[in-house]
Amino acid sequence: MQNFEFHNPVKVVFGKGSIAELAELVPRGVPVLMTYGGGSIKRNGVYDEVKAALRGRAPREFGGIEPNPRYETLMRAVALARKERVKFLLAVGGGSVLDGTKFIAAAVPFKGRDPWDILAADAAVAAAVPLGCVLTLPATGSEMNGGAVISRESSREKLAFTSPLVYPRFSILDPATTFSLPKRQVTNGIVDAFVHVMEQYATYDVDAPLQDRQAEALLVTLMEEGPRTLKHPRDYEARANLVWCATQALNDLIGCGVPQDWATHLIGHELTALYGIDHAQSLAVVLPALLRHQRRRKRTKLLRYARRVMRLTGPAGDALILKAIAGTERFFRAVGMRTRLSEYGIPAEAAEVVAARLDRRGVKLGEHEDLGPKEVAEILRMCV
């Protein structure tokens, strides 16, 4: 096991009716800005529940944060928060609203030239407005971590930052608020959570059997509860299990003391930035190809994955690994996700375009930090 630090201070309030807890959780006597997305919370009753819990207080509001939240939109919220001297941010929505709100939190007190530097130039986050959230979409895990991914319209970039200062003070997770999600978003959430686990699991072995089994627990449960909740979208138990899996998939825990990959995400972000496909769609396309391309270096873990997650038997070898990867792709398709670039209308040249963009940024990907433009292009050519 590698040395590690683990410090996750988020208070999770989970279950039916938990939005009412906002009355106690949101600080009193300070200006609060409530952020949300395209308005689904007004249609599904969550907005009213939040307002009822905060009765007698008058939070400012900023709506319209889009999927893949945009710097341009968020900077308008930053201006509003500065003007109103906001001291607490309450994000109500999915991972995009929450990620956007984390950026607002860090940008409001930012003293540098332009808060975009937090994403593009590793500028330090020295302070942040405290935030909390009501999560309405199980997927990104943002509700229990200190990371966010932000897009910039003008440059078609999609970049991430992390800071211990943007962990939510609390996250309210009421699975019933997610019943009204369209099927596509539930599918996206299942795949997103699954790939989060794979990024921390399918690397190389460092003799960390507990972390391996904790990751496998998530993968197996997602393969079981994902289809169950798609089939019975208003079954509270199935949805609750999906929500808790999605949170646990990216709350730092299974990454303790083990190497992490994240190449699938970084390649996927480019596909989303350039071609506009959903985040989870990009992951479903890239992961199988990446695993096939890197299967010799990931051999020990992929054999473990084949046996324990895909429940395959047979001699240890390349055939077993390829069968496990095919099973992964089949699982994605079974929950309604397409897994090929061509199915999204993305041209084969994407391979070279993405490779060149990553090369310009000078990043090397993967748990060995050695996948360059050549390997990225090879992987993407396998996704056609």
* Among 224, 352, 359, 378, interactor with its own copies by CB under 8 A: 224
155 binds its own copies (CB under 8 A): no
20 binds its own copies (CB under 8 A): no
343 binds its own copies (CB under 8 A): no
- For its own copies, which is the closer residue by CB, 217 or 322? 217
Tell me, what amino acid is at 187? T
- Among the listed ranges 50-58, 216-224, 263-271, 320-328, the one in contact with its own copies (CB under 8 A) is 216-224
11 binds its own copies (CB under 8 A): yes
Residues 22-41 that bind its own copies (CB under 8 A): none
Contact predicate 146/163, CB 8 Å: yes
- Alpha carbon distance 95, 136 (integer Å): 9
- For its own copies, which is the closer residue by CB, 223 or 371? 223
* Among 79, 124, 210, 326, interactor with its own copies by CB under 8 A: 210
Residues 243-262 that bind its own copies (CB under 8 A): 244-245, 248, 253, 256-257
* Among 5, 55, 154, 313, interactor with its own copies by CB under 8 A: 5
- For its own copies, which is the closer residue by CB, 8 or 155? 8
17 binds its own copies (CB under 8 A): yes
Tell me, what amino acid is at 202? A
How many residues bind its own copies (CB under 8 A)? The answer is 41
Q: Of 151, 141, 104, give the one whose Cα is nearest residue 125.
A: 104
* Among 34, 78, 159, 208, interactor with its own copies by CB under 8 A: 208
* Among 35, 145, 178, 241, interactor with its own copies by CB under 8 A: 241
142 binds its own copies (CB under 8 A): no
Q: From its phi and psi, is residue 45 left (phi > 0), alpha (psi between -120 and 50) or beta?
A: left
Helix, strand, or coil here: 14? strand
Q: Of 207, 211, 304, give the one whose Cα is nearest residue 252.
A: 211
Radius of gyration of the chain (CA): 20
- Alpha carbon distance 114, 150 (integer Å): 14
Tell me, what amino acid is at 362? G
220 binds its own copies (CB under 8 A): yes
- For its own copies, which is the closer residue by CB, 11 or 338? 11
- For its own copies, which is the closer residue by CB, 8 or 162? 8
Helix, strand, or coil here: 189? helix
214 binds its own copies (CB under 8 A): yes
Q: Which long-range contacts (CB under 8 A, 24 or more apart) does 154-163 make?
A: 154/72, 156/273, 156/274, 157/119, 157/120, 157/273, 158/68, 158/269, 158/270, 158/272, 158/273, 159/119, 159/120, 159/269, 160/119, 160/269, 161/103, 161/106, 161/118, 161/119, 161/125, 163/106, 163/125, 163/128
- For its own copies, which is the closer residue by CB, 225 or 261? 225
* Among 46, 218, 284, 286, interactor with its own copies by CB under 8 A: 218
Q: Of 242, 238, 91, give the one whose Cα is nearest residue 166.
A: 91
213 binds its own copies (CB under 8 A): yes
- Among the listed ranges 14-22, 49-57, 84-92, 341-349, the one in contact with its own copies (CB under 8 A) is 14-22
342 binds its own copies (CB under 8 A): no
Q: Sort strands 32-35 and 11-14 into parallel, antiparallel or unpaired.
A: unpaired
Q: How far from the centroid of its chain's Cα atoms is residue 214's Cα?
A: 18
* Among 75, 221, 299, 307, interactor with its own copies by CB under 8 A: 221
> How big is the CA angle at 276 (ends 230 and 239), to the nearest 5 degrees?
20
Site pattern 347..376 for its own copies (x: CB under 8 A): ------------------------------
Distances (CA, A) of 67 to 64, 99, 140, 152, 158: 9, 10, 12, 12, 12
Q: How far is the CB of 104 from its own copies (least distance, A)?
A: 24
Q: Of 50, 51, 111, 61, give the one whose Cα is nearest residue 86.
A: 61
- Among the listed ranges 74-82, 177-185, 219-227, 293-301, the one in contact with its own copies (CB under 8 A) is 219-227
Q: Which residues of the chain form contacts with its own copies (CB under 8 A)?
A: 1-18, 207-211, 213-214, 216-218, 220-221, 224-225, 237, 240-241, 244-245, 248, 253, 256-257
